[in-house]
Structure 1
Amino acid sequence: MHAKIRFAALAAATALSLLSGPAAHAEGTLAVYAWADSLAPDLIAKFQKETGIKVTVDAFSSNEDLLTKLQAGSSGYDVVTPSQHFVKIMGDSGLLEDIGANAMPAYQQVLPEWQKPWWDPNGSYSIPLAFGNAGFTVNRDLYKGPVDSWKIYFEPGPELQGKIASLAQPDEVIPAAQNYLGIPYCSEDPQAMKKVLDLLMAQKPFVTAYSSDNIENRIGSGEVAAHFWWDGNSLRLRRNDKANVEYAMPKEGLVGWLDSYVVPKGAANIDNAKKFINFMAEEENATAQYNYYGHSTPMKIDAAKALYNKENAPELFPTVPVKMGQACSPAAQELVTKVWTQLLQ
């Protein structure tokens, strides 16, 4: 889930696709709509070279944006990468092709614990791409205090007031607040959700931005001292840019996610989509994808070639509970929407 800048190596192709719409529905093409900066450009190039299939990649920065695109119909995309609860919502709403995922070669590369999960119990629609969690990252040049509780983020002390930022959507922020308050995910209790609203409203004066874009620049440059973010993105900023940041391990727990490859209903290039998903799942390619993306992988990879371990990537090996985000009932989702709408008014 997860992050969230357009990758430079595909900027030209992406810009072209934004001008002209998704790739033409002709044999030998594939249109992908993925989390920004999530797919290794080298693998896209390798797939194109090996198959002759021309790939265009567009980027999204929230599950809500992706769902809206699919609900509108005729998205033009052949592969998209929603998080687990949105796979459930999309599948239940008839927005996904049954690609017989459990019979694909890619499925044999999925670690057993991620096969036939609750969001796709028959293995019909999805092949997992990456998993991780949502929490918050601090800039250690600006903030020297503890990072062991959500209290630090949701009820900031003087050193963080006016120096924190959140995401643009409620999908993970509200579950994090629920973790802190001890409220179940997808609560249908208006009084419980009023507590969530009160917490977020009290925090609001100290929040400089509600944005899911350019997070690495905002936190890395010291524009803010704490930002709601994702584990692997914080890892990459620390390792690749040598930023003095730390990903928090709040004792109340992190919000878990898993993104998957799925094929929208009515996609024009289903065979090419399955070729791409199978290609990305091959051990060598899955290892390269893991090393590029920096989020945990649900696929079998070459451990000898994997870049990350507990010593050099503590962000990927949480020491606190991780509770996977859920697909809420309409009543619960309505309360989430009401809370977020009131917050941002």
Structure 2
Amino acid sequence: MKKLFAAASVLALGATGAMAQELNIYNWGNYTNPKLIEKFEAETGIDVTITDYDSNDTALAKVKAGGHGFDIVVPSATYVPIWISEGLLEETRPDQMENFSNMDPVWIDVPWDEGRHYTVPWQWGTTGVAVNTKYYDGDIDTSAIFMDPPEELKGKINVVPEMGDVMGLAIMYYGGEPCTNDKEILKQVRDGLVEAKKSWLGMDYGNIEKFAKEDVWAGVNWNGSTFRMRLANENIAYGYPKEGYVVWMDSVAVLKDAQNMEEAKTFQNFIMKPENAALISEFARYANGIKGSEEFMPEDMKTAREINIPEELKDKGTFLPTCDPDTQALYTRIWTDLQK
């Protein structure tokens, strides 16, 4: 009887352990390589479920509402301080993890997570413009593509509805600095965006297929996404606005109320391994923050304009800071007007 009881106890523990081997990731849509997840599951025995979101604001609102069931989220740099200040993230100390030595030093002491106590790099890139050069052969390194659209592109422009990126590009187009609260500049931004929108087709995410099929000819877009468009349609090109473009990084963070805390930490450590970080980049076509990952990446990423910023435009990129609440409120009002 004792042996039978002991065996039953072992089975129960085993079942409990198996049930605990889960991980629920909340990430941007079309941003996670299935190969990465397959490898993680095979090496760790942890079953992964991925749920998509389409914006930083969507993710933040969902988690703040509670009852979400997620363990990991992937916010952009400007939002990480908000997540931390709201008490939504666990201080997992990636800087003390085994694979932390692989992180590129340039991404360690960052303003949004000094020393990396909460987050691990996922991918970084730029926000600029995508243009189908079959329909437009002018200068593409300018935000005029969507702010003062050329005649041949009107009605065929899509602007991704990401407030921080679009506001950042528009503010720099009018000569301002990100997070400015200069009323004259913000009036120009508001009026300029509202007027420009009359020439846009829409404000949507997930436009790789639309660009590839030439339903959309130009618009605000991210570099890696544009790279994927070009692989499907050779006429697509990526422009870095000379008036100023946005540089960003998305990072993996663990939620304070994660039900699978150790599994989440295991994932953070896992993606700091160069060959695993390379899988992330191979799919979404953005750079990551892990040293040595380059040698595992596809050859075409080493020379692609979308990844390699032209020398003369390198100093035009700006990492968006986290704006103070009052300034953010001003931007939200402008954004609300734009959505009308």
Task: Give the TM-score, by structure 1 length.
Answer: 0.88
Residue in 2 aligned with 1:233? 225
- Report the residue type matching 1:264 in the other structure: L
Q: Is the 1:219–1:227 contact (alpha carbons within 8 Å) kept by the matching residues of 2?
A: no
Seen in structure 2, the aligned counterparts of structure 1 residues 186 and 171 have a Cα distance that, compared at 3 Å, is same
SS of 2:247's equivalent in the other structure is: strand
Residue in 2 aligned with 1:114? 107
Q: Per-residue deviation at 1:123?
A: 2.1
Q: Per-residue deviation at 1:235?
A: 0.9
Distance 1:44 1:148 in 2: 36
Distance 1:93 1:189 in 2: 28
Are 1:260 and 2:251 counterparts? Answer: yes
Aligned match for 2:31, one of 25, 38, 41: 38
Q: Is the 2:156–2:201 contact (alpha carbons within 8 Å) kept by the matching residues of 1?
A: yes
Counting only pairs closer than 5 Å after superposition, residues 79-228 of structure 1 correspond to structure 2 as 79-212=72-205, 214-228=206-220
Q: Per-residue deviation at 1:333?
A: 0.6
Q: Is the 2:132–2:237 contact (alpha carbons within 8 Å) kept by the matching residues of 1?
A: yes
Q: Is the 2:99–2:272 contact (alpha carbons within 8 Å) kept by the matching residues of 1?
A: yes
Q: Is the 2:26–2:51 contact (alpha carbons within 8 Å) kept by the matching residues of 1?
A: yes
Q: Per-residue deviation at 1:218?
A: 2.1
Q: Per-residue deviation at 1:292?
A: 2.1
Q: Per-residue deviation at 1:119?
A: 0.3
More helix per residue: 1 or 2?
A: 2
Seen in structure 2, the aligned counterparts of structure 1 residues 26 and 328 have a Cα distance that, compared at 3 Å, is farther
* 1:170-218 superposed Cα distances (whole Å, 9 cap, x missing partner): 1210100011111111122333211100110120110110112x31122
SS of 1:261's equivalent in the other structure is: strand
Q: Is the 2:118–2:254 contact (alpha carbons within 8 Å) kept by the matching residues of 1?
A: yes
Residue in 1 aligned with 2:46? 53
Q: Per-residue deviation at 1:289?
A: 2.1
SS of 2:78's equivalent in the other structure is: helix
Q: Is the 1:234–1:245 contact (alpha carbons within 8 Å) kept by the matching residues of 2?
A: yes
Larger Rg: 2
SS of 1:315's equivalent in the other structure is: coil
Residue in 2 aligned with 1:334? 329
Seen in structure 2, the aligned counterparts of structure 1 residues 26 and 325 have a Cα distance that, compared at 3 Å, is farther
Q: Per-residue deviation at 1:283?
A: 1.7
SS of 1:56's equivalent in the other structure is: strand
Ranges in structure 2 where 5+ consecutive residues have no aligned partner: 1-17
Distance 2:142 2:104 in 1: 31
Counting only pairs closer than 5 Å after superposition, residues 18-37 of structure 1 correspond to structure 2 as 26-37=19-30
Are 1:325 and 2:316 counterparts? Answer: no
Counting only pairs closer than 5 Å after superposition, residues 241-252 of structure 1 correspond to structure 2 as 241-252=232-243
Q: Per-residue deviation at 1:55?
A: 0.6
Q: Is the 2:174–2:185 contact (alpha carbons within 8 Å) kept by the matching residues of 1?
A: no
Deviates more, 1:310-319 or 1:223-232: 310-319
Q: Per-residue deviation at 1:141?
A: 2.1
Are 1:276 and 2:267 counterparts? Answer: yes
Q: Per-residue deviation at 1:315?
A: 0.7
* 1:4-55 superposed Cα distances (whole Å, 9 cap, x missing partner): xxxxxxxxxxxxxxxxxxxxx9410000011112221011011111211111
- Report the residue type matching 1:51 in the other structure: T
Counting only pairs closer than 5 Å after superposition, residues 294-313 of structure 1 correspond to structure 2 as 294-308=285-299, 312-313=303-304
Q: Per-residue deviation at 1:56?
A: 0.3
> Alignment RMSD, CA only?
1.7
Q: Per-residue deviation at 1:309?
A: 6.1
Q: Is the 2:94–2:269 contact (alpha carbons within 8 Å) kept by the matching residues of 1?
A: no
